Amino acid sequence: MTVMKRIITCFICLVSCSAALLSSSPSDEPALRHVTEIGIPYFKNYSPKEHGGDVQNWAIAQDERGVMYFGNNSGVLEYDGVSWRLIPVKTGSVVRALALAVDGRIYVGAQSTIGFLAPDAIGQLQYVSLLDSIPLEARDFVEIAKVYATKSGVYFQAFDRLFLWSNGRMRLWRPDHPFHISFVVNDVLYIRQPGVGLLQMAGDSLQLIHDGEKFSELRIYMMLPFGDNKILIGTREQGLFVYDGVKALPFPTEIDAFLLENQLYHGVTLANGEVALATLRGGVAIIDRSGRLQLLLDKDAGLQDNNVWLLASDAQQGLWLALNNGIARVETPSPLALFDERSGLRGSVESTLRHRGTLYVATHQGVFYLKPAVVSPRSPAISRAAFQPIRGIAEQCWALLSAGETLLAATHAGVYQIEGAQARLLRESAGHSYALYRSKKDTTLIYVGLENGLALLRFNPKTRQWSEAGEVNGVEVEVRDMAETANGILWLGTRSQGYLRVDLSDGLAHPPIQIFDRRHGLPEDYGWASLIALTGREVFATSKGLLRFDEKAQRFLPDTTFGAIYADSAHSTGEAAVDHNDNLWLQSGSGTAQQLGVAVRQPNGSYVWQYSPFARLSDFTIWDIYCEREETLMGVGNTWIGGPEGLVRYDAAAQKDYAVNFSALLRRVITVNGDSVLFGGAGLNEDALTMASPLPYLNNSLRFEFSASSYDNESVNRFQYYLENFDKGWSAWTKETKKDYTNISEGRYRFHVRAKNAYDHVSAEAVYSFKILPPWYRNWWAYLIYLSLAGFGVYGLIKYRTQQLVQRSRALEEIVQQRTEKVRQQTEELETLDDIVKKINREVDLENVLRSLLDQGLKLFPQAEKASVLLYDANSGLFKFAAAAGYDLARMKDIAFTPAQLAQRYTTGSEQVGEGVYIVRNLQNLYEENTASPAGPISVLVMTAVRQGQTEAYLIFDNLSSPDAFSQSDAHKLSRFRSHAVSAIIKAEILQELQEKNIEIIKTQEQLIMQEKLASLGSLTAGIAHEIKNPLNFVNNFAVLSVELAQELKEEIEQQESKIDSRAVTAITELLQTLQQNAQKINEHGKRADSIVRGMLQHSRAESGDRENTDLTALLRQAVSLAYHGMRAQENGFNVTLEEDYDASAGTIEVVPQDVSRVFLNLINNANYAVLQKRKAWEGKTTQEGGGYIPTLTVRTKNLGDKVEIRIRDNGTGIPQSVKDKIFNPFFTTKPPGQGTGLGLSISYDIIQKHRGEMRVETEEGNFTEFIITLPKTASNKS
């Protein structure tokens, strides 16, 4: 009975496991078997039609230059990355084996012959036979199966004998029994002998290795080095073994059954340590060192044949396959793998997402999930990773979203919920549903971007279902992208309609919506408005680069975080994503040239771009980038890149060297007519090939053909070339692989060529030297004939005289032509001058007139490289730069010259050509313009503008390279131009003076009106203040007495407490305390009212004293000291950094000292208060949070001639723009109640007005406030 129960239990378990496997959903993983997401690598098939040989290929080798060679039924195929060539070996001889030896030669093993490849006299590779080195009786072998190059020499293995070519001598071994196949591992020759076992070459004899007899009946097809002195052995009958020098033990893999079924035939170790295994029926399988399958490449994946004879790795780590039908090359190891229709994925990819361990892809034909490959060591069949469709969706799908246990898809019909392999419609829409976004602030909310709006889905925790929650009013755009800020504000990206910002904190009915377009800094051509959510901020990707949003300015500004090129409006951005390390993945480019790169975040917060890993995708259209943030079947950090061509997986863990050196190859040099080959592409010294003999002049038109030994996507290789003594420099990069030169003169030349591969890595140069002889008529014997002809003197004299007459006639014709041309040029010059004058006269503003003068002047004198205008400043008596072209005017604003300095520089000793026009050469440098020319101008053309006998302006044209840049003709041209230029300058100056006078009159009127208002207000204020003063004194005095009486009464009650009921004592005490507090409040507010009254009296009072000459610097220093110590007394620990800059030339000014000192004290006290409040607000913050604040007060004076300017600046809290215009109003204050009367700035403004001065404020909220006061030096001066 017990036995029966066990049987039944086992049966039930078996059935349950089978049912589970058969009914597994996309998220389930089959147990007990290795599951992988194996894609298809990038590879290329070379068909027989393409390479030009027979269909079958047996061997592969690569020479030191990187050229590939293949053993073919028709001979040796040679491939250089551009073209194929067939090198015949022997009529009808099949080439079975190839090897590169240390002497740089390719050795060949074929049917009935052995030999090597060597260049002939002009560098064309030929087959050279070694049969003559073999004894006659040993030449009857059928074919060579293998060729190996070792330190001992080159082995040629036939099935009935073994040859060794070493030091120009051939050695021979004949076995008692035929050989099978040989191998070389770690420079040791191994060979299997059926019935005996595995032998190795030891000295001069073949000896059986330890445990070698195990392979007497097991056919070996692969031996590879495998770690520490171990060898991996592949057999046909029992799979793989690991031999440690003593014992050969089985090496189980998960593809054992596959190898037995498909017949292992060859293997090779790859650069990353993985092993590629060739089979006769199943293509190529790649396993890692633990025997796990990494890659399968067969006909189902696009390989043109499953019968693989041989594998070989090239210098670029690519894997070459010699096929029974053609040749192939696989880019492996590589981080890139492709999934397309061969993998079951149909339609253009729009979105990729991993949900609960399964990868889902949304395309234009529905939603698909990736069913991983299933590999079992007991099954010969490998189930390739393939995409399966989700049932229930058959329309365009745009986006996927994983919301907890739920997967949602946005489609043409609406939003679907995907459960397992089935989908159901959750929300139907009339138009497309384009985007999905789950709120981070409220995770029960999902936003749905619609064709013309924004909808919401809400999660019900009780039913655990998502349901429709309405649409947002006011959003009527096509929403393609979304991002949420930390405070829950939603950014919306649209297609061609800019960005929207929506605040849903108060509901959906009428949410605040901001629309941002070109008025806010977005480009004219919006393009796709995408959002990139980095940690703590959003980046906006547009057709004109990356932007950031300035909240204060409410504008989009270029974001230079990722480099200036990505903030350039000419650099468009496309798809973008952010991975788990906050690295930015971005498709970008200029025009049609797009590239994918990743900005890798550095520890200091900067970014470094990487492009090489994705150069292979240069022709892949990218619509989606998905960076995985969790561990998957293929590891952490995989990135999926989708588009119309399918889906590409990027595995960052798969390392590849993108800077492998390769060679630029000069493959052939021929005459352009093609009838002669001068160089065939091969030579012993590839760095400096030299033509053996000079070329006759008749062959002076040559074609150079070149290639590059970089085979990853070799069609995008580019080349640069130049011919010494012919070209001026390197050509532009081009995909052309040949260059023709015609009519090359006699002489010596060197042709240079270099290559750039798909990863932008540049090769070394290939150089070819040659010489072309002169034509026969420039040889020595030709000159001898010319000398003989000189004897015909009379004929020569007549001919010479005739030539003289002809030359004179031509000279006269040239003179006539020159003068005619001069008249034409003068006419054109007058027309140009007239046009320039019209353009200048259209300008009325001085700045525009000067700019127009420079622009038109540079057109008139193209040899002028830079130009500037110096104007006379009557206030300072100096000439200053007012306009410049080619110079940085901002750097020249503080440069000034005296009239004498300019006269010495430009007029004294210069060549005067006409009135006010000078040519200056080799002048002394008086100023520098380092960014333009450290040495200064070499030649100058100068024009002066004179008004009423006073030089008002200098117009200067500079040339920085030639002392003779300007001629007399240029000076006369400037003379004709001068009168118009002077008139334009004077007209503009007069207009500017009129405008300044008009402004001054308006300001004077405003001051008079203000003084009248202030006088009226002062009279009214004085009356009110006198009437209020006495009652207010009574209120204050009796409030103080009330406080004292309440305190005395309280003390009296405490003394009589034992005689009074305790409840009455408590009640009376509370009443007295309330009365005392009320009286204190009355006293406190009475004092503030008294302060206001005193301020009103000061406000209404006329000047409090007589004006006197006062040392302004001393007055300011006194005010600074008083304000600082006053604040220190109020606030313990207060400190401020003081920056003082007093102009010593300011001297004394005529003011009322006590009034002006009051102004300075008011302003400095306010500044101290502002920096104190900011310091308190920033206390406890770190430097990253804005801490490290240093309170600073700056006081400056500046002499302005008849006026003095005073600037008092603090880096405190600043003044909001909303109250800036109110700060001079009486009783207006921003301080808390009780801390300010609001009269300080009003009184200060009144005092400055009474001194006929000006007072204004410049401020930026949160950063600084600066008061600027301008006072006349004497009472008679007006501001």
Q: Do residues 31 and 320 lie in contact, with contact meaning Cβ atoms separated by under 8 Å?
A: no
Name which of 153, 84, 158 is nearest 116 in CA terms.
Answer: 153
Residues 876 and 953 in one domain: yes
Query: Is 823 within a domain?
Result: no
Query: Is 1123 within a domain?
Result: yes
CA distance 785 to 731: 42
Block mean pLDDT (10 aa), the chain, length 1279: 42 38 42 63 97 97 97 97 95 92 96 96 94 95 96 97 96 95 97 97 95 97 94 97 97 96 97 96 96 94 97 96 98 93 96 95 97 87 91 95 95 95 93 94 95 95 92 93 91 91 86 93 78 86 90 93 83 88 88 85 92 91 90 66 96 90 95 85 64 85 96 96 96 97 94 96 94 87 79 73 80 76 61 60 70 82 87 83 85 84 82 84 52 63 85 88 82 78 74 73 65 57 60 69 76 76 77 77 67 55 68 87 81 86 88 87 88 82 65 92 92 86 74 66 84 90 92 68
Q: Which helix (H) or strand (E) holds 1246?
A: helix 1240-1250
CA distance 319 to 711: 10
CA distance 974 to 444: 78
Backbone angles phi, psi at 111, to 5 degrees: -70, 120
Q: What is the count of structural domains for the chain?
A: 4
Query: Is 395 within a domain?
Result: no
Residues 114 and 233 in one domain: yes
C-alpha 162, offset from chain centre? 60
CA distance 410 to 395: 10
Q: Which helix (H) or strand (E) holds 1090?
A: helix 1062-1100
CA distance 849 to 1045: 81
Q: Which pLDDT does position 1084 carry in this prediction?
A: 67
CATH code, domain carrying 1125: 3.30.565.10
DSSP 8-state class, residue 775: P
Query: Is 898 within a domain?
Result: yes
**In angstroms, what CA-CA distances link 689 with 18, 235, 668, 742, 771?**
70, 47, 12, 21, 12
Provide the Cα torsion 612, 617, 623, 628; round to 10°.
Answer: -50
Residues 720 and 866 in one domain: no
| DSSP string for 489-530 | -EEEEEBSS-EEEE--TT-SSS--EEEE-GGGT--SS--B-E
Q: Counting beta carbons within 10 angstroms of the beta carbon of residue 1024, is it exposed (0 to 12), middle (13 to 18) or buried (19 or more)?
A: middle
Backbone angles phi, psi at 865, to 5 degrees: -90, -30
Residues 771 and 861 in one domain: no
CA distance 1122 to 1126: 6
Q: Which pLDDT does position 242 carry in this prediction?
A: 98
Q: Do residues 1093 and 1028 lie in contact, with contact meaning Cβ atoms separated by under 8 Å?
A: yes
**In angstroms, what CA-CA distances link 1112 with 74, 465, 920, 1115?**
104, 78, 47, 5
CATH code, domain carrying 138: 2.130.10.10
Summarised one tens digit per residue, pLDDT across range 798-837 is 777 778 888 887 888 778 777 766 656 656 565 565 666 6
Instruction: Determine the angle formed by the axes of helices 1062-1100 and 968-1055, rounding to 10 degrees.
Output: 150
- Map residue 819 onto helix, strand or coil: helix
CA distance 811 to 220: 92
CATH code, domain carrying 943: 3.30.450.40
Residues 1219 and 1144 in one domain: yes
Name which of 44, 42, 48 is nearest 324 in CA terms.
Answer: 48
Q: Hey, how many other C-beta atoms are within 10 angstroms of the C-beta on 815?
A: 10
- Going by their DSSP bridges, the two strands 917-921 and 911-912 should be labelled as antiparallel
Summarised one tens digit per residue, pLDDT across range 5-20 is 444 344 433 333 333 3
Query: Is 200 within a domain?
Result: yes
- Going by their DSSP bridges, the two strands 188-193 and 490-494 should be labelled as unpaired
Terminal C-alpha separation, the chain: 120
Residues 777 and 858 in one domain: no
Residues 61 and 185 in one domain: yes
Provide the Cα torsion 375, 377, 381, 384; round to 10°.
Answer: 10
Residues 1121 and 1233 in one domain: yes
Residues 775 and 907 in one domain: no
Residues 103 and 234 in one domain: yes
Maximum C-alpha span of the chain: 162
Q: What domain range is 891 assigned to? A: 849-984
Instruction: Take residue 226 and report the two structure tokens written for it.
Output: 């495998």
CA distance 108 to 87: 11
Among the three residues 984, 1006, 1038, which one is the final residue of a domain in this structure?
Answer: 984
829-833 long-range contacts, Cβ below 8 Å, gap at least 24?
829/973, 832/859, 832/860, 833/860, 833/973, 833/976, 833/977, 833/980
Q: Counting beta carbons within 10 angstroms of the beta carbon of residue 711, is it exposed (0 to 12), middle (13 to 18) or buried (19 or more)?
A: buried
Query: Is 237 within a domain?
Result: yes
CA angle 619, 624, 628 (to 5 degrees): 115
Q: Which pLDDT does position 341 carry in this prediction?
A: 96
Q: Residues for the chain: how many in total?
A: 1279
Instruction: Determine the angle formed by the axes of helices 1062-1100 and 1240-1250, rounding to 10 degrees.
Output: 10
CA distance 686 to 662: 13
Backbone angles phi, psi at 960, to 5 degrees: -100, 5
Q: Which pLDDT does position 1013 carry in this prediction?
A: 58
C-alpha 412, offset from chain centre? 35
Q: Do residues 665 and 706 lie in contact, with contact meaning Cβ atoms separated by under 8 Å?
A: yes
DSSP 8-state class, residue 90: S
| Bond from prior residue into 335 cis (ω within 30 degrees of 0) | no
Among the three residues 984, 1002, 1030, which one is the final residue of a domain in this structure?
Answer: 984
Backbone angles phi, psi at 1240, to 5 degrees: -60, -55
Name which of 161, 61, 151, 59 is nearest 110 in CA terms.
Answer: 59
Q: Do residues 357 and 27 lie in contact, with contact meaning Cβ atoms separated by under 8 Å?
A: yes
- Read off the pTM: 0.62
| DSSP string for 419-484 | ETTEEEEEEE-SS-EEEEEE-SS-TTEEEEEETTEEEEEEEETTTTEEEEEEE-TT--S-EEEEEE
Q: Which pLDDT does position 18 carry in this prediction?
A: 38
Buried b / exposed e across 515-537, counting CB within 10 Å, b at 16+? bbbeebbbbeebbbbbbbbeeee
CA angle 48, 54, 55 (to 5 degrees): 60
DSSP 8-state class, residue 1113: H
Helices (H), 842-883: 846-860
Among the three residues 757, 782, 807, which one is the final residue of a domain in this structure?
Answer: 782
Q: Do residues 734 and 778 lie in contact, with contact meaning Cβ atoms separated by under 8 Å?
A: no
- Which residue type does 100 have? L
Query: Is 370 within a domain?
Result: no
Name which of 218, 254, 193, 195 is nearest 33 in CA terms.
Answer: 254
Query: Is 64 within a domain?
Result: yes
Residues 765 and 909 in one domain: no
Residue with tokens 């400056």: 1196
Residues 777 and 853 in one domain: no
CA distance 1129 to 1122: 11
CA distance 397 to 367: 7
Instruction: Take residue 452 and report the two structure tokens written for it.
Output: 């013309």
CA angle 565, 568, 572 (to 5 degrees): 90
Q: Do residues 280 and 265 lie in contact, with contact meaning Cβ atoms separated by under 8 Å?
A: yes
- Which residue type does 1109 have? N
